[in-house]
């Protein structure tokens, strides 16, 4: 593996780390409470290698097809100090087996049907697959996830969440959400606060005490997410720069 580091990535990552540290200080939190997942959608293998050389060990792919072209080779490159590969994009149920095969963590489990398929395939692969349950706390029709934006939908979600207890080949780490795309990151704060409230409502019941993680916050709003309790932030553009064809998110 070549030993060069792309200067822009190194400088961008240093700036991201500074911003994470400042957000942690404002929230009275420690930096080691936050996992930085570098989102690598539409990024080359060499860009990912450069980020790895800068110290990053968590990478997030958005599309299974793209991940399958990059991750196997990079796993070999990083074999001496393995990276953790996160699936952060939507997973169709028919692609569950492929997602379970490449991902170390899946953030976007948005239905019991998908969870059951992942559990079955994880069993076939003799693995226990860490996941996060995706929750829609904004009420946007365009967002995936279990509805949980008011007392009625929250109560229904808590009831349905018990179904995950039977899926012994999945390890539920916590919850994930996608905030609306807004010009002012402060406008995303209520969404992040609501996800933390959903997590707390679950953890008040003993069977959900292990659902501690909150995957929320991207390039434009991750500082607010950290202030509201994020334990995983999914950042792409702030590390790698604009994509060749700029798309929504991360």
From the CA atom positions of the chain, what is the Rg in Å?
Answer: 18
Residue 173 CB burial class (10 angstroms; 0-12, 13-18, ≥19) = buried
What pLDDT is stored for residue 173 in this prediction?
A: 97
Evaluate if residue 181 carries a pLDDT over 70.
yes
Instruction: Record the pTM.
Output: 0.93
Confidence of residue 24 (pLDDT cuts 50, 70, 90): very high
Q: What is the DSSP string of 194-213?
A: HHHHHHHHHHTSGGGTT--E
Mean pLDDT of all residues in the chain?
93
The kind and range of the H/E element at 59 are strand 58-61
pLDDT digits (tens, 9 = 90+) for 87-139: 999 999 999 999 999 999 999 999 999 999 999 999 999 999 999 999 999 88
Residue 10 CB burial class (10 angstroms; 0-12, 13-18, ≥19) = middle
Evaluate if residue 3 carries a pLDDT over 60.
no
pLDDT digits (tens, 9 = 90+) for 153-168: 988 898 889 899 899 9
Evaluate if residue 152 carries a pLDDT over 70.
yes
**100 secondary structure, DSSP code:** H
Average pLDDT estimate for 18-33: 98
What pLDDT is stored for residue 249 in this prediction?
A: 56
Q: Which residues contact 163 (CB under 8 A, 6 or more apart)?
A: 112, 115
HSE of 170, CA atoms in CB hemisphere, 13 A: 26
CATH code reported for the domain at 7-240: 3.20.20.10
pLDDT digits (tens, 9 = 90+) for 188-214: 999 999 999 999 989 887 678 899 999
Q: Which residues pair with 135 in a beta bridge?
A: 146
What pLDDT is stored for residue 2 in this prediction?
A: 52
């Amino acid at each position: 593996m070549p030993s060069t580091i792309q200067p822009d990535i190194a400088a961008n990552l240093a700036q991201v780390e500074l911003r994470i540290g400042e957000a942690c200080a404002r929230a009275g939190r420690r930096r080691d409470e936050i996992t930085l997942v570098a989102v690598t959608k539409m990024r080359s293998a060499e860009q990912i290698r450069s980020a790895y050389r800068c110290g990053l060990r968590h990478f997030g792919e958005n599309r299974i097809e793209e991940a399958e072209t990059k991750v196997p080779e990079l796993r070999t490159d990083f074999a001496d100090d393995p990276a953790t590969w996160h699936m952060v994009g939507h997973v169709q149920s028919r692609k569950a087996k492929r997602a379970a095969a490449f991902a170390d963590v899946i953030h976007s489990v948005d239905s019991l049907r998908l969870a059951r398929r992942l559990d079955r395939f994880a069993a076939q692969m003799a693995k226990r697959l860490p996941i996060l349950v995706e929750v829609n706390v904004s009420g946007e029709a365009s967002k995936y996830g279990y509805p949980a934006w008011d007392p009625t939908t929250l109560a229904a979600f808590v009831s349905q969440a018990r179904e995950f207890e039977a899926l012994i080949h999945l390890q539920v780490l916590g919850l994930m959400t996608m905030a609306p795309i807004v010009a002012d990151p402060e406008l995303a704060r209520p969404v992040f606060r609501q996800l933390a409230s959903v997590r707390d409502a679950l953890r008040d019941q003993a069977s959900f005490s292990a659902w501690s993680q909150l995957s929320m916050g991207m390039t434009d709003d991750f500082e607010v997410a950290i202030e509201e309790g994020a334990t995983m932030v999914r950042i792409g553009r702030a590390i790698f720069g604009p994509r060749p064809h700029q798309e929504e998110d991360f």
